[in-house]
């Protein structure tokens, strides 16, 4: 379905976010017919922006049964090669007929957008929905599709197992932004004329803006609604970084020295359906907002977790406010609190931990 509808508008501003939310839910509910306990995990690649291609035993690209296999094996050609290892290797996984039943291809390159880029993306106001959506679609979504390369950077990308992990994360970014206020929730899509329907279904884009009241993706069940909730990453460092960034101005956040992450090329953006005018706008947004103002080299990263994040954790300016102290421990001084914060950073696991989302049928809760 995704490849068939690829060029029909599902990657335009009017449909991209709500259509893929509908598509995720449809896919998830197909899995739940086999096991009702299934919920889609999402992969927050921003936490491992500079270590995103690791193939250790507990990493996403592991060759073990729980991993997705590694990089494509290329010969002399610069093109993406077939994945040979893991459950999705060439002898075990074939693409759909629309993809000519070829092998799963990958060509890892560059770094992923980091957690600071995600924070800056979510800093847009409801009036800046156009900028928010274009940052998400072109500068985050498309860029990482093509950092993986191969099948993920093509019309048949939904054949890649990592597609749904990536898109669940994109949906969480939108959900986090929507949770800021009712204006964020209703931004743009409530202004789309009611006669407009999304491709491949009978729903209006605004039908899929409220994650607490999502229509059942089967069009014959309008009376059944589903609630989807995302769980934040459990890494202690994620919470500490998020807390620090929220207390800084946008300008201060942009001035944090970071490693450079490559954007999608013009050719890649064109391939993934971004129009010429949007490509120019996305480039300006990337340069003005998301790209690091001060670039650092890998040799300047101090700790092992810094090398994963793509910046030095201690370089994030710290704003200490008394209410940050636990209420039940009034004797906890600033120095001890900061030491505890650093201990949390030391605990940052190098192992990939998928975060979860909950898919709950509201009719089930009611009954």
So where are the chain's domains? 2-53+110-299, 55-107
> Residue 339: is its pLDDT beyond 60?
no
Spatial CA neighbour of 201 closest among 35, 9, 19, 2: 19
User: Cα(29)–Cα(219) distance, rounded to whole angstroms?
Assistant: 13
What per-residue confidence (pLDDT) applies to 357? 59
Mean pLDDT calculated for residue range 116-121: 98
pLDDT at 216: 83
312 and 19 Cβ atoms separated by less than 8 Å: no
Give the residue among 264, 238, 186 at the shortest CA–CA distance from 18. Answer: 186
In terms of pLDDT, which residue wins out, 361 or 81? 81
Please count the other Cβ atoms lying within 10 Å of the Cβ belonging to residue 90.
18
Burial status of residue 362 (CB atoms within 10 A of its CB: 0-12, 13-18, 19 or more):
middle
pLDDT of 267 strictly over 70: yes
Integer Cα distance of 13 and 274 in angstroms: 10
Q: Is the pLDDT of residue 225 over 90?
A: no
78 or 317: which leads in pLDDT: 317
What is the band of 343 on the pLDDT scale with cuts at 50, 70, 90?
low
High-pLDDT (> 70) share of the chain, %: 84
Class of domain 2-53+110-299: mainly alpha
Q: Residue 333: what pLDDT?
A: 43
CA 335, CA 304: separation in Å to the nearest integer? 23
Model confidence pLDDT, tens digit, residues 120-174? 999 999 999 999 999 999 999 999 999 999 999 999 899 999 999 999 999 999 9
Percent of the chain with pLDDT over 90: 66
Report the sign of the C-alpha dihedral through residues 331, 334, 338, 344, in that order: positive
Mean pLDDT of 339-366: 47
On the CB side of 303, CA atoms within 13 Å amount to: 16
């Amino acid at each position: 379905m995704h490849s068939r509808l690829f060029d029909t508008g599902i990657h335009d501003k009017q449909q991209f976010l709500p259509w893929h939310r509908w598509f995720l839910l449809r896919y998830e509910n197909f899995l739940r017919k086999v096991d009702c306990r299934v919920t889609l995990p999402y992969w927050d690649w921003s936490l491992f922006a500079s270590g995103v291609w690791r193939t250790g035993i507990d990493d996403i690209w592991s060759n073990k049964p729980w991993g997705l296999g590694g990089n494509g094996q290329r010969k002399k050609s610069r093109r993406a090669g077939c994945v040979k290892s893991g459950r999705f290797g060439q002898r075990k996984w074939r693409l759909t007929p629309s993809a000519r039943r070829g092998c799963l291809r990958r060509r890892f390159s560059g770094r992923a957008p980091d957690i600071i880029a995600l924070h800056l993306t979510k800093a847009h106001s409801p009036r800046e929905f156009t900028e928010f959506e274009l940052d998400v679609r072109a500068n985050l979504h498309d860029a990482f599709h093509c950092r993986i390369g191969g099948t993920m950077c093509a019309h048949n990308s939904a054949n890649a197992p990592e597609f749904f992990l990536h898109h669940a994360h994109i949906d969480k970014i939108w959900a986090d932004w929507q949770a800021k206020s009712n204006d964020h929730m209703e931004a743009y899509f409530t202004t789309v004329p009611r006669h407009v329907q999304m491709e491949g279904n009978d729903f209006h884009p605004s039908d899929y803006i409220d994650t607490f009241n999502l229509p059942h993706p089967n069009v014959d069940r309008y009376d059944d609604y589903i609630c989807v909730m995302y769980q934040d990453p459990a890494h202690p460092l994620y919470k500490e970084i998020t807390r620090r960034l929220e207390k800084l101005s946008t300008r201060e956040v942009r001035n944090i020295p970071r490693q450079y992450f490559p954007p999608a090329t013009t050719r890649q953006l064109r391939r993934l359906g971004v129009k010429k005018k949007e490509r120019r706008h996305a480039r300006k947004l990337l340069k003005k907002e998301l790209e690091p103002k001060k670039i650092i080299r890998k040799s300047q990263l101090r700790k092992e977790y810094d090398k994963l994040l793509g910046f030095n954790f201690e370089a994030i300016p710290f704003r200490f406010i008394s209410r940050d102290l636990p209420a039940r421990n009034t004797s906890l001084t600033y120095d001890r609190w900061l030491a505890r914060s650093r201990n949390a950073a030391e605990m940052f696991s190098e192992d990939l931990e998928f975060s979860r989302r909950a898919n709950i049928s509201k009719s089930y809760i009611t009954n």
